[in-house]
Amino acid sequence: MQTLQDKVAIITGGGTGIGKAACLDFARNGAHVVVIGNVEADAKQTAGEVRALGREGVAMVADVTDAGEMRNIAAKVIEKFGRIDILVTSAGVMGDRTFLVNTTDEGWCKTMDVNLNGTFYCVKAVLPQMMEQKSGRIITISSISGKLPAAMNADYSASKHAVIGMTKALAIELGLLGLNGITANSVCPGSVDTPMISEITEHMRGLTGEDPEMFIQERIASKNLQQRLLEPEEIAGMITYLASDIARGITGQAINVCAGTVLF
């Protein structure tokens, strides 16, 4: 059963990792997908794979930290499809990965700009259309770092806490406006086998000198109950569920997909 039949979805960070997995899972479930990325080749690759699954796949290159660009993206999607049913904000950066005292002003601002401001600009760009339709699904990608801070992670953790707060506030506002057909939720992945985890491993092992596989197993995977990295498709499955009609009663939530790293 295709749970997203003919829905129109915008997915940022769709060229790689969790965003790409979500694009493909959406297509398998019947959605048309607009793939937003900052690397043209990656976005086009994902869009091509969406089309190979029999759905419309459109690649658009954009900087999520530019509010004007995101408004233009929304306008183009509305012009082409006449509606926007789903937004997934998967674009993100890992931050400086250092102690707060050593975090640069530029690094802090970049992390906030991409992870928080970029999410805000994307959400604000699609909201008017969803409000007009009186329907839609907004799914922001936070992190377990948005619930459980860690050392050498202050900028990333702060940005992801803020994404959860913004998403919950939006859900409350939608309820106050009587727009029950629109839901707003965050997904909080744990450690996922993506290019970002590879970047973190390379950065941190430079400090510890450990073998990469040993570092991943002992420093990352061992922190969850299943003692493993998750696959991007596992996160995509939750995103697809939240985007579906059957999840219409779920809003204002921050849902962990973390193999038991965080139990709240």
One-letter amino acid at 81 equals F
44-81 pLDDT, tens digit each:
999 999 999 999 999 999 999 999 999 999 999 999 99
Q: Which residues contact 143 (CB under 8 A, 6 or more apart)?
A: 156, 157, 160, 188, 189
Q: Which domains does the chain have, with CATH numbers?
A: 8-191+230-257 (3.40.50.720)
- Mean local confidence (pLDDT), 242-262: 97
Q: Where are the beta strands (DSSP E) in the chain?
A: 8-12, 32-37, 57-61, 86-89, 136-141, 182-189, 254-257
The per-residue pLDDT for range 193-215, each reduced to its tens digit, is 887 777 777 666 666 666 667 76
Q: Catalytic residue, from 156, 190, 234, 242: name it.
A: 156
Q: How far apart are CA 94 and CA 89, in angstroms?
A: 15
The chain-wide mean pLDDT, for the chain, equals: 94
Which of 83-97, 205-219, 220-234 comes out lowest in average pLDDT? 205-219
> SS3 letters for 157-186?
HHHHHHHHHHHHHHHHHHHHCCCCCEEEEE
Q: How many Å from the N-terminal Cα to the C-terminal Cα in the chain?
A: 32
Question: Which residue, 35, 186, 155, is CA-closest to 93?
Answer: 155
pLDDT recorded at residue 235? 98
Residues of the chain above pLDDT 90, percent: 86
Decide if 156 is catalytic. yes
Q: If DSSP codes are grouped into helix, strand and coil, which group holds residue 259?
A: coil
Q: Pull the structure tokens for residue 141.
A: 């990608």
Please answer whether residues 124 and 64 qualify as being in contact, where contact means their C-beta atoms are separated by less than 8 angstroms. Answer: no
Q: What is the pTM of this model?
A: 0.94
In this prediction, residue 1 has a pLDDT band, given cuts at 50, 70 and 90, of low
User: What is the sign, positive or negative, of the torsion defined by CA atoms of 178, 84, 232, 151?
Assistant: negative
> 51 Cβ partners below 8 Å, 6+ apart?
57
121 φ/ψ angles, rounded to the nearest 5 degrees: -60, -40
pLDDT at residue 168, as a whole number: 98
Predicted local distance difference test score (pLDDT) of residue 210: 66
